[in-house]
């Protein structure tokens, strides 16, 4: 991409003393690729969308959390009732004497996965802090700036406490059905997912879980799983030399013909063409 859009501090911060601002995206619309002069936390509340971060697609939905650094490139390629908050901040303006770098790094992100999940409890608490933060960060006097920064600190600590990654989702509370389901789905990209078995195992009602999922994400469970697998396949097609049949298998498709059909239906091009398109430009 030759003409790179860089979002400017002066367009989002009211004064040079402000270190953090809440930008609500109710909704987040399709948005072109950009980087920033500031960093941002992205918290997804509702709906779904295709978020491309440093060329890698992520199907995002409620409870997803990203730590975006200033020079990361990202865009929202498609959206479907997507509702999120951007908490944007300038690291060099933060005054409190804490290890911001440690608190704000996506840190131990396993398998290079930059996406975190927030438990329902974490989301509820974050929502409260963010609404206070939104108020304080709309004012520019010294006390408000200071209070905003301390609320921001509370927020990032809360995120650290309640975030988890799908590959590491032990210790979740039983009643957090959606959390458990999301974690299980994240672990099922390469193997069939048996919802009935999951429900039996966790003693939850299948019908109500399907409804809950649909309500919260705007997708059915199988749509979500299929699109996650296609995202993973897109990534592997571009960044590995694996055979298409191996990629199909790694992305949970037993039959590689069926994989090609599903891939083409979602993306508009065959897996082979998808791969070629990048082979030509790089």
**Residue numbers at the binding site for ligand RM4 (CB under 6 A):** 7, 12, 23, 25, 28, 31, 36, 40, 86, 88
Cβ proximity to ligand RM4: between 36 and 177 the closer is 36
For residue 79, the cross-strand partners are 49
Instruction: Write down the least CB distance from residue 23 to ligand RM4, Å.
Output: 5
For residue 24, the cross-strand partners are 85
Instruction: Write down the least CB distance from residue 33 to ligand RM4, Å.
Output: 10
129: closest CA among 159, 88, 105?
A: 159
The CA angle 102-103-106, to the nearest 5 degrees, is 80
3-state class (DSSP) for residue 111: helix
3-state class (DSSP) for residue 164: strand
Cβ proximity to ligand RM4: between 36 and 162 the closer is 36
CA 61 to chain centre: 7
- Residue 116 is inside which H or E element, if any? strand 115-118
Q: Is the separation of the CB atoms in 221 and 180 below 8 Å? A: no
Instruction: Write down the least CB distance from residue 127 to ligand RM4, Å.
Output: 18
Instruction: Write down the least CB distance from residue 12 to ligand RM4, Å.
Output: 6
For residue 89, the cross-strand partners are 20, 39
Instruction: Write down the least CB distance from residue 38 to ligand RM4, Å.
Output: 8
Cβ proximity to ligand RM4: between 65 and 180 the closer is 65
Distance between CA atoms of residues 160 and 155, nearest Å: 9
Cβ proximity to ligand RM4: between 87 and 181 the closer is 87
Instruction: Write down the least CB distance from residue 35 to ligand RM4, Å.
Output: 9
Cβ proximity to ligand RM4: between 68 and 236 the closer is 68
Tokens representing 197? 């078995």
Cβ proximity to ligand RM4: between 47 and 186 the closer is 47
Phi, psi (rounded to 5 degrees) for 242: -60, 150
Cβ proximity to ligand RM4: between 55 and 266 the closer is 55
80: closest CA among 43, 120, 114, 51?
A: 51
Instruction: Write down the least CB distance from residue 103 to ligand RM4, Å.
Output: 20
**Strands 31-36 and 5-7, how do they pair?**
parallel
Label residue 20 left, alpha or beta by phi (over 0 means left) and psi (-120 to 50 means alpha): beta
């Amino acid at each position: 991409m030759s003409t790179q859009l860089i979002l400017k501090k002066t367009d989002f911060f009211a004064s040079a003393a402000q270190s953090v601002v809440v930008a609500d995206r109710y909704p987040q619309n399709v948005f072109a690729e950009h980087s920033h002069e500031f960093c941002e936390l992205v918290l997804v509340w509702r709906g779904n969308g295709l978020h491309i971060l440093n060329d890698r697609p992520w199907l995002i939905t409620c409870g997803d959390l990203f730590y975006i650094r200033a020079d990361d490139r990202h865009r929202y390629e498609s959206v479907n009732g997507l509702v999120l908050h951007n908490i944007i901040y300038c690291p060099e303006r933060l005054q409190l004497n804490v290890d911001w770098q440690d608190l704000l790094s996506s840190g131990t992100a396993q398998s290079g996965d930059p996406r975190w999940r927030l438990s329902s409890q974490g989301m509820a608490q974050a929502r409260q802090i963010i609404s206070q933060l939104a108020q304080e960060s709309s004012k520019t006097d010294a006390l408000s700036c200071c209070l905003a920064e301390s609320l921001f600190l509370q927020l990032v600590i809360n995120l650290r406490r309640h975030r988890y990654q799908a590959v590491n989702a032990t210790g979740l509370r039983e009643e957090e059905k959606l959390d458990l389901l999301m974690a299980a789905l994240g672990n099922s990209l390469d193997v069939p997912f048996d919802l009935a078995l999951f429900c039996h195992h966790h003693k939850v009602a299948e019908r109500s879980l399907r409804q809950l999922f649909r309500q919260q994400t705007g997708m059915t469970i199988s749509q979500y799983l299929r699109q996650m697998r296609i995202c993973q396949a897109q990534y592997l097609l571009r960044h590995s030399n694996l055979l298409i049949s191996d990629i199909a298998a790694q992305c949970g498709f037993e039959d590689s013909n069926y994989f090609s059909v599903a891939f083409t239906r979602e993306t508009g091009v065959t897996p082979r063409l998808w791969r070629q398109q990048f082979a030509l430009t790089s």
